[in-house]
Structure 1
Amino acid sequence: MTLCLLREISLADDVLVDERDTSAPVPPRTRLLRNTPVRGTLLSDICSPRLVSSTYFSQTSAIVGCNGVFHVASPVPSSSVPNPEVELIEPAVKGTLNVLKACLEAKVKRVIVVSSGAAVGLNPRWPKGQIMDETCWSDKEYCRTTNNWYCLSKTEAESEALEFAKRTGLDVVTVCPNLIWGPLLQSNVNSSSLVLIKRLKEGYESLENRLRMIVDVRDVAEALLLAYEKAEAEGRYICTAHLIRERDLFDKLKSLYPNYNYPKNFTEGREDVTMSSEKLQRLGWSFRPLEETLIDSIESYKKAGILD
């Protein structure tokens, strides 16, 4: 997400890339950030979440002189998490608040916080069949009792960010994307892309025919730029483009790439929620066709050696 955002703004203003965890090996995405030719006054913060959540004083000097800050990172569990409060909730919430405190001190004009549809969609009290909009929040207690720790971390971090904005007057806008696919700019695989890659490679005997809400990473980057550049932008924005059932998705993929090991059967299960990006579209946002996203995703996986 960070890399795509930098590519989208590469013809605009300088991006300050601040790498503070100098004892750690430089990951591939950090090397790409450092090598991206950009100009202007935006900050891409690539500290580790633990470092960001422990203090904010070192961030302030990096942010000074920046007109805008995009806070795009949050811990994502790769498997079961032994201590979710320490490993997910605390870095997400404290990290976000520390970035915002530094932005307030540095007199940043606007902060864009990337949240998630996960902070919208887990609300059992939302009226059945009603499309979810920006007034809907995931129920924090429900997230806890169902062990949806990532959803809780994003809900806590986003709600704290907007509360901080109310208390201090800092201009904070949040964007909530759903499942993000699209071409990779790095060789390592992110968790969203892995959802698609596993379904192409692992040959599931049966898969739940759930509803997927998909958005292209390039369209998310455009949404973040709109949220930053449009003076009228305020509050939170759901960012989703295509709603499609798993069965229909893989029928479409089979017509494009017939030789992958697709799921064999689909079962009907829970009733899925749906979300609307109407507010974001009123801001001027549009999105590319799903087929373009699927083709560009798979071609980039093949180029990276992830798919044959």
Structure 2
Amino acid sequence: MASPRVGETDIEKKIRDLQEVEERLVVFSVDILDYHSILIALNGCSALFCCLDSSDGYDDKVVDLEVRGAINVVEASAQTESLEKMVFTSSLTAAIWRENICSEKDVDERSWSDQAFCRKMKLWHALAKTLSEQAAWALAMDRTLNMVSINAGLVVGPGITQQSPRSTMSYLQGAAQMYENGVLAYVDVNFLVDVHIRAFEVQSTCGRYFCFDRIVNTEVEAIKLAQSLSPLISLPPRYECQGSEVYAERLRTSKLNKLVDSTAFIGFSSSPPASFGCYVFLEATVRSCLSAPLLVGSPPPPPWRV
């Protein structure tokens, strides 16, 4: 697991506590801007799940840091002989932002957000994810590194909002437009972790995979999402639906569906396989990468108009 943050959260402490009961687990504190520290941490590893996320929100400076971090992680991975595959966590925001997206019928793994449009609209989270993933892919192909990327929707689940307010709100920048364009989607953290493990274990996986549970394209679904994100987003008292418009869904997950249909769901298995320990550890690390101090200030507008 690679993370750009400094300092230990409660979840990271729990991860370290796992060392006491799991002899094979070794935890490193890695600075993604320090190439050599990454190289040392990867020594002997067969898999890398790389989750880059800023705990302080996103601006133009953070964009550059995330790109540099991605390059360092990929280069170190390419130089690690024992590494079999790298699973790079990206975001749907790296694919859904550009002019006139509402005119497109299908938005899938071939789609990329437009860099100029992201800069113009100051969509720093989208720009960071777009540039860092593109840099990772360019270097991985040059170094012939076996890499797969998971483009996740807004991550939700028990405690996620409280643990990762800045990450949540960074993703939701421009949420009203995402909603109206049919590209506002979310994914449960447990399913996201399960997909990461599948992406590593299934030898045939390659390229990008869009990963989400549901597209929010009606006001009823938008309200449900807002309620799940409380207290970051709050509805007016006694709010009632104002309309019944259904926006066209543009995101496609046919590639992910093939991966999911071909393998058993790890997270809810009645008899956990050997990889279940990896599932538990990854679930904690994903939460750790998303976690941050409480957000101070007013949140942006909710993903619908009232």
Relative to the length of structure 1, the TM-score reads: 0.67
Larger CA deviation: 99-108 vs 37-46: 37-46
SS of corresponding position for 1:174: strand
Larger CA deviation: 174-183 vs 247-256: 247-256
In structure 2, the residue matched to 1:236 is 208
Structure 1 counterpart of 2:63, from 89, 103, 107? 89
1:68 to 2:47 alignment? yes
State the one-letter code of the partner of 1:99: V
SS of corresponding position for 2:53: coil
Residues 113 and 175, structure 1, Cα contact 8 Å, conserved in 2: yes
Structure 2 counterpart of 1:262, from 225, 235, 249? 235
Relative to the length of structure 2, the TM-score reads: 0.68
1:128-147 Cα shifts (integer Å, max 9, x gaps): 14121100000111111111
Report the Cα offset of residue 218 of structure 1: 0.4
Cα pair distance change 1:278/1:46, threshold 3 Å = farther
SS of corresponding position for 2:208: strand
1:52 to 2:27 alignment? no
Report the Cα offset of residue 148 of structure 1: 0.8
SS of corresponding position for 2:32: helix
The structure, 1 or 2, with the larger RCO (C-alpha pairs under 8 Å, 6+ apart) is 2
1:122-168 Cα shifts (integer Å, max 9, x gaps): 02255714121100000111111111111011000101111111111
SS of corresponding position for 2:15: helix
1:56-103 Cα shifts (integer Å, max 9, x gaps): 01211110100010111222553xx6xx332x1122111011111111
In structure 1, the residue matched to 2:253 is 277
Residues 28 and 187, structure 1, Cα contact 8 Å, conserved in 2: no
In structure 1, the residue matched to 2:157 is 182
Cα pair distance change 1:187/1:31, threshold 3 Å = farther
In structure 1, the residue matched to 2:287 is none
Residues 227 and 234, structure 2, Cα contact 8 Å, conserved in 1: no
Question: How many residues of Structure 1 are paired with residues of Structure 2 in the alignment?
Answer: 249
Larger CA deviation: 138-147 vs 118-127: 118-127
Larger CA deviation: 269-278 vs 95-104: 269-278
In structure 1, the residue matched to 2:96 is 121
Residues 51 and 89, structure 2, Cα contact 8 Å, conserved in 1: yes
**Counterparts of 2:8 and 2:155 in 1: how far apart (Å)?**
25
**Counterparts of 1:194 and 1:126 in 2: how far apart (Å)?**
22
For structure 1, which runs of at least 5 residues remain unmatched after alignment?
3-17, 196-205, 288-305
In structure 2, the residue matched to 1:133 is 108
More strand by share: 1
**Counterparts of 2:4 and 2:234 in 1: how far apart (Å)?**
42
Residues 35 and 72, structure 2, Cα contact 8 Å, conserved in 1: yes
**Counterparts of 2:60 and 2:177 in 1: how far apart (Å)?**
31
In structure 1, the residue matched to 2:72 is 98
**Counterparts of 2:254 and 2:25 in 1: how far apart (Å)?**
27
1:172 to 2:144 alignment? no
Cα pair distance change 1:170/1:252, threshold 3 Å = closer
**Counterparts of 2:217 and 2:119 in 1: how far apart (Å)?**
27
1:236-260 Cα shifts (integer Å, max 9, x gaps): 110011113362126658999xxx9
**Counterparts of 1:127 and 1:228 in 2: how far apart (Å)?**
34
State the one-letter code of the partner of 1:123: R
**Counterparts of 1:245 and 1:185 in 2: how far apart (Å)?**
22
Identity %: 21
Residues 217 and 247, structure 2, Cα contact 8 Å, conserved in 1: no
Residues 115 and 158, structure 1, Cα contact 8 Å, conserved in 2: yes
Cα pair distance change 1:145/1:57, threshold 3 Å = same
Residues 117 and 177, structure 1, Cα contact 8 Å, conserved in 2: yes
Cα pair distance change 1:282/1:44, threshold 3 Å = farther
In structure 1, the residue matched to 2:8 is 26
- 1:216-231, aligned counterparts within 5 Å? 216-231=188-203
